[in-house]
């Protein structure tokens, strides 16, 4: 009878195999955990960079909004968004406490969490992003520094630019500019003169322009011919300027409504509709140029004077010895009546949406083009900001 005799080392081999299996499982588990941690780290980094990239894009949008604010004088026209009251003393960092050396403390720019920093929500709600922008004047003339900050609970992105203010060009105006289709009625001894003058009556340095201008017609010249047809020949020599008499011609269209709104955003004062006698709304001899906005029909009389821009959201009547230096923009009909030999407007009179431009003068009032007066008036509009330097902080 045969007996099977087992390997006396069989138990040890099985133990070694079991140990190796356990070790292998542990190693595989460790590798899995390491891989999971690496994936999470990379995923977190990816979210961070994606988040930072989105914040930077929205910070750039904030700069565009601030530059638009400055250029068009809207929302205060200062370029500050959510930081209007922020000052250097508020530079305390994210915790809003002095001496903690936390993020943003002492960096010279508004940081979320600091006093007087109120971010405006921007972007998809799910991302929880907000935006603030601050603007500073610099030691360079007409150069402004802006820093835009976009942030959420995870990240902050700052973008900085320097802008230079490019002076606004004066549009192609005349002594009087009217929209096509306006009806013109002459009477008396009114003179509309497109030669260039200074407000003291001396000759200016600019070239002559049309006495009356309008937008280019289709075909070209048709709008000017329509205006000329409304002027009796006996009044031809009362419309002076380039191209002979009557000096009526076409120029590149002036968007008078847009110009009206731009100046209105910079208004120095607002007056109600009514009759005003002997008022003084600015003084060109004292470099006091203002933007005066009238919310309805206005009549100026007596020795009423002004300098800068007069905006009338209705009809305008000029009588007596009224004198304005600058530009007058009217969203309605214009009537000039009465007066002695005073010049009623030095600069340009712009009639927008007018049905009628009526000149019924009993004296010898005048409209005289003045490039100098227009230049002073357009100084009241800030120039277009032009970016000269851009950086990520």
| CB 130, CB 151: distance < 8 Å | yes
| CB 122, CB 133: distance < 8 Å | no
318 burial type by CB count under 10 A (0-12 exposed, 13-18 middle, 19+ buried): buried
Cis peptide before 246 (omega within 30 of 0): yes
- Max alpha carbon distance in the chain (Å)? 153
> H-helix or E-strand containing 71?
helix 10-72
User: Model confidence over 157-215: pLDDT tens digits?
Assistant: 999 999 998 888 899 899 999 988 888 887 777 889 999 999 999 999 999 999 999 99
What is the per-residue pLDDT for 112? Answer: 93
What is the per-residue pLDDT for 358? Answer: 63
What are residue 64's phi and psi, to 5 degrees? -60, -40
- Under DSSP, the state recorded for 5 is -
**Spatial distance between the Cα atoms of 335 and 182, rounded to a whole number of angstroms:** 13
What is the per-residue pLDDT for 44? Answer: 46
Which of 301-307's residues contact partners 24+ apart within 8 Å by CB, and which partners?
A: 301/275, 301/276, 301/277, 301/338, 302/277, 302/278, 303/278, 304/276, 304/277, 304/278, 304/279, 304/280, 305/279, 305/280, 305/281, 306/279, 306/280, 306/281, 306/282, 307/281, 307/282, 307/283, 307/376
Instruction: Establish how many alpha carbons lie within 13 A of residue 198's alpha carbon, considering only the half-sphere containing its beta carbon.
Output: 6
- In 3-state terms, what secondary structure has residue 221? coil
What is the per-residue pLDDT for 50? Answer: 65
**Spatial distance between the Cα atoms of 324 and 276, rounded to a whole number of angstroms:** 14
What is the per-residue pLDDT for 11? Answer: 62
What is the per-residue pLDDT for 355? Answer: 61
What is the per-residue pLDDT for 306? Answer: 96
Our separate counts of H helices and E strands in the chain read: 4, 23
Low-confidence ranges of the chain (pLDDT < 70): 1-11, 32, 34-50, 338-343, 354-363
What is the per-residue pLDDT for 332? Answer: 87
- In 3-state terms, what secondary structure has residue 307? strand
User: Model confidence over 20-60: pLDDT tens digits?
Assistant: 777 777 777 777 676 665 555 544 444 544 678 889 999 99
The CA-atom distances, in angstroms, between 236 and each of 26, 111, 232, 291 are 105, 66, 7, 33
């Amino acid at each position: 009878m045969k007996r099977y005799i087992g390997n006396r080392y069989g138990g040890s081999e099985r133990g070694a195999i079991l140990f190796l299996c356990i070790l292998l499982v542990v190693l595989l588990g460790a590798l899995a955990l390491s891989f999971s941690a690496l994936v999470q780290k990379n995923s977190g980094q990816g979210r961070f960079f994606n988040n930072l990239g989105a914040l930077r894009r929205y910070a750039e949008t904030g700069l565009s909004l601030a530059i638009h604010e400055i250029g068009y004088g809207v929302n205060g026209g200062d370029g500050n968004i959510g930081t209007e009251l922020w000052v250097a003393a508020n530079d305390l960092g994210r915790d809003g406490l002095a001496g903690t050396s936390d993020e943003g403390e002492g960096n010279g720019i508004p940081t979320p969490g600091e006093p007087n920093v109120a971010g405006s929500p921007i972007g998809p709600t799910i991302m929880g992003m907000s935006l603030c922008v601050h603007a500073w004047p610099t030691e360079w003339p007409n150069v402004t520094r802006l820093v835009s900050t976009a942030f959420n609970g995870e990240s902050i992105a700052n973008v900085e630019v320097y802008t230079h203010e490019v002076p606004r060009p004066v549009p192609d105006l005349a002594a009087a500019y009217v929209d096509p289709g306006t009806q013109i009625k002459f009477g008396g001894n009114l003179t509309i003169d497109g030669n260039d003058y200074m407000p003291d009556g001396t000759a200016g340095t600019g070239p002559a322009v049309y006495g009356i201008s309008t937008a280019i017609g289709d075909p070209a010249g048709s709008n000017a011919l329509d205006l000329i047809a409304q002027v009796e020949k006996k009044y031809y020599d009362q419309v002076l300027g380039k191209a002979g008499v009557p000096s009526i011609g076409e120029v590149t269209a002036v968007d008078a409504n847009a110009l009206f709104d731009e100046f209105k955003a910079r208004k120095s004062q607002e007056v109600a509709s009514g009759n005003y006698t002997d008022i003084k709304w600015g003084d060109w001899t004292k470099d006091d140029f203002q933007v005066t906005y009238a919310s309805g029909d206005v009549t100026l009389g007596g020795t009423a004077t002004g300098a800068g821009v007069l905006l009338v959201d209705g009809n305008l009547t000029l009588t007596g010895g009224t004198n304005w230096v600058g530009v007058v923009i009217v969203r309605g009909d214009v009537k000039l009546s009465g007066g002695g030999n005073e010049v009623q407007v030095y600069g340009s009179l712009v009639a927008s949406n007018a049905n009628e431009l009526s000149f019924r003068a009993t004296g010898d009032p005048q409209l005289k083009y003045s490039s100098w007066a227009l230049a002073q008036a357009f100084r009241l509009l800030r120039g277009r900001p032009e970016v000269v330097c851009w950086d990520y902080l």
